[in-house]
Structure 1
Amino acid sequence: MTDSAIRFGIIGHKGRMGKAIAKAIEQAGHVLQVGVDEGGNPGPLASQCDVLVDFSAPTALKTNLDAAKVAGIPIVIGTTGLDDEHFQMIEEASQMLPLLQTGNTSLGVNLLCHIAHKVAETLDTSWDIEILEMHHRDKVDAPSGTARQLGTAVSEGRGIALGENSEVGRSGPDSKRAPGAIGFASLRGGTAAGDHSVIFAGNEERIVLSHSAEDRSIFARGAVKAAEWLIGKQPGLYSMNDVLGL
């Protein structure tokens, strides 16, 4: 521990990601000050921390945001499976504190999103877009938060709304893709940490942009880097693009 060590609070610290983040915190020379798990409330302990990192569950989001607001500290939200109501909570909380929300803390994945946005912006609508992802057998949400993040990147590049133009898990005899749709396919099995591909399929040619996570430590290191960057920032809603300077 040094004078510059950051005191972290991890929400969900006994989960796979929580354990990986705890290790990354130690490797970076910081301190795991507080660990909170399912059903726990970080509120009474948050004031002991310099930053909170939340990789828990959508149902705990309001409690975790309230804890950060009361303590007056930044929070990194890496929880996936969020819906419109959760994003509204995040937007409101960001008016009071520095908040970074992302579906994936990997620096490589966020660079992939940036590149995919540029490609979608450049190509016309004769190119179909499909997003393929694979995760371990125990992952509960599909498509993954990362797949949705990639979908948002390409839909913004194309200038369309993702919600109105996405096709998820096609099935049945009438499953022809709609013109201009962004398709999602989710695979689950084994211990895959996370593989994602964005496929731009044109006439007689394809562009495939891919990222493979070999170990969840890449997400943990990214989460620590995001937290380091977020400390001292003004209240607002930030993303990994800000961390990367994109």
Structure 2
Amino acid sequence: MTRIAIAGVGGRMGQALSQAVMEHPEAQLGAASERAGSPLLGQPPTAQDMAVRVVSDLASVLDAFDVLIDFTQPEATVAHAALCRAHGKRLVVGTTGLSASQQAHLENAAKAVPVVFAPNMSVGVNLTFKLVELAARVLGDSVDIEIIEAHHRHKVDAPSGTALRLGRVVADTLGRDLETDAVYGREGYTGARDRRTIGFATVRAGDIVGEHTTLFATDGERVEITHRASSRLTFASGAVRAAVWLDAQPPGFYDMQDVLGLR
């Protein structure tokens, strides 16, 4: 049985993760944390986990968990990665908006403990990555490629980590550099489209859980590969699946493609 700690258990994703842990036959909730000052501190995270009490510092409950799942904020995630490395705890990270230096902290932790880092833990999204790779390989440079994503109004980073991963899949497949070929929105007189560019369009509205479309278009036809999530539980279930999978893995830096055997 994999004992799991959830960082940010009071948030929308934290609540979904609690449910996903409860529903997985090989997982149990061992610990849960929230920010200092949260009214949840000292309380059980859910009615089903009365033996667990929410803490502000996971260092105080190290004996209660084997793997930490973190969908919080970049600064908190970096601190949690250092904690896991220092104490031999496995780590699953779904936090988005990390800078290159913050991601480097995760990669450094992965030298000592196994880490799964993915912008999207959904099984369906990770299948979508493979389909987009296939489409890019087949269609090549003969099409214009745009990525359209939509999320709820509370999401603080844009484009989403999943949209950026889709763009990187396209760029890597076609031998392009996403840093120079990405176009993030358009306004005013832009001139004709450069076929090598990879466009991104972002929508933030209402309670949209997550929608991503990769559009391959040329004269006379277009191919659209779309994933729509209707519940955060799909991300949470994937994260718990990754946490259990880490039981048998050596130290290393993994993603959901590894977890699902899609490499």
Q: What TM-score range do you get, normalising by the shorter chain?
A: over 0.9
Q: Which residue of 2 aligns with 1:147?
A: 163
Q: Counterparts of 1:71 and 1:115 in 2: how far apart (Å)?
A: 38
Residue 110 of structure 1 aligns with which residue?
126
User: Which of 98, 110, 118 does residue 94 from structure 1 map onto?
Assistant: 110
In the TM superposition, residue 176 of structure 1 has moved relative to its aligned partner by 4.3
Q: Gaps spanning 5+ residues in structure 2: where?
A: 37-55
Distance apart, 1:43 and its partner CA: 2.6
- Residues matched between the structures, number: 242
* Equivalent AA in structure 2 for residue 160 of structure 1: R
CA distance in 2, matches of 1:61, 1:233: 21
Q: Name the counterpart of 2:197.
A: 181
| 1:66 counterpart residue number | 82
TM-score (norm: length of structure 2)? 0.88
Q: Determine if the alignment matches structure 1 residue 37 to structure 2 residue 34.
A: yes
1:10 to 6, 25, 30: 6
SS in structure 2 of the partner of residue 9 of structure 1: strand
1:172 to 158, 165, 188: 188
Amino acid at match of 2:202: S
Offset at residue 175 of structure 1 (A): 5.9
Of the structure 1 ranges 34-43 and 218-227, higher mean CA displacement relative to structure 2 is found in 34-43
TM-score where L is the length of structure 1: 0.94
For the pair 1:75 / 2:91, whether they are aligned, the reply is: yes
Are 2:233 and 1:217 aligned? yes
Once the two structures are overlaid, the 10-residue window that deviates more, 34-43 or 113-122, is 34-43
Following TM superposition, by how much is the alpha carbon of 1:231 offset from its aligned partner in structure 2, in angstroms? 1.5
Once the two structures are TM-superposed, the CA of residue 155 in structure 1 deviates from its matched residue by 1.1
Question: For residues 93 and 157 of structure 2, what CA distance do their matches in structure 1 show?
Answer: 16
For residue 231 of structure 1, give the secondary structure of its aligned residue in structure 2: helix
| Percent of aligned positions that are identical | 39
Paired letter, 1:214: S
**Contact 1:46-1:68 within 8 A present in 2 as well:** no
1:41: how far off?
A: 3.3
Aligned structure 1 segments of 4 or more residues deviating by more than 6 angstroms: none
Aligned residue for 2:142, secondary structure, equals coil
* CA shift in 2, pair 1:172/1:38, >3 Å: farther
CA distance in 1, matches of 2:196, 2:246: 37
Amino acid at match of 2:61: L
Preserved contact between residue 143 and residue 195 of structure 2 (Cα < 8 Å): no
How many Å apart are 1:47 and its aligned residue?
3.8
SS of match in other structure, 2:140: coil
> In terms of Rg, which structure is larger?
2
Cα 1:32–1:175 change in 2 (3 A) is farther
Q: Mean Cα displacement is larger for which, 111-120 or 165-174?
A: 165-174
Q: Is the 8 A contact 1:38 1:56 kept in 2?
A: no
Give the drift of 1:28. Answer: 1.1
SS of equivalent residue, structure 1 residue 123 = helix
Larger displacement relative to structure 2 (187-196 or 28-37): 28-37
CA separation of 1:87 and 1:176: change in aligned 2, threshold 3 A: farther
